[in-house]
């Protein structure tokens, strides 16, 4: 299962999720504006990741944001 960390109103978050759907890849989304997913913000800060989306592949490896995801899947 892929992981997408997102927030509301984020165009690149929407694009990343659409790209994963297009490739038929299942994912779980953690939206930082949801009260149940706020703990993700702590992890992002510890990892010094300041932007969203943040995407992790099925092995748990950090892929990056939308641009890196596109390169990863198209390459």
Predicted pLDDT of residue 37: 84
Predicted pLDDT of residue 38: 82
At residue 36, what are phi and psi to the nearest 5 degrees?
A: -80, -10
Question: What is the pTM (predicted TM-score) of this model?
Answer: 0.92
| pLDDT tens per residue across span 3-46 | 999 999 999 999 999 999 999 999 999 999 988 888 998 999 99
Chain-centroid distance of CA 51 in Å reads: 10
Report the alpha-carbon distance of residue 58 to residue 75 in Å, rounded.
17
- How many angstroms separate the Cα of 74 from the Cα of each of 22, 29, 69, 70? 12, 21, 8, 6
Predicted pLDDT of residue 75: 81
Contact at 8 Å (CB) between 62 and 54? yes
Mean pLDDT across the stretch 67-74? 97
Query: What 3-state DSSP class applies to 6?
Result: strand
């Amino acid at each position: 299962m892929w992981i997408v960390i997102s927030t509301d109103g984020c165009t690149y978050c929407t694009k990343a999720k659409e790209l994963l759907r297009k490739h038929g890849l299942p994912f779980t989304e953690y939206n930082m504006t949801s009260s149940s997913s706020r703990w993700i913000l702590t992890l992002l800060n510890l990892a010094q990741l300041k932007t969203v989306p943040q995407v992790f592949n099925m092995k748990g490896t950090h892929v990056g944001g939308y641009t890196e995801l596109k390169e990863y899947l198209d390459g």
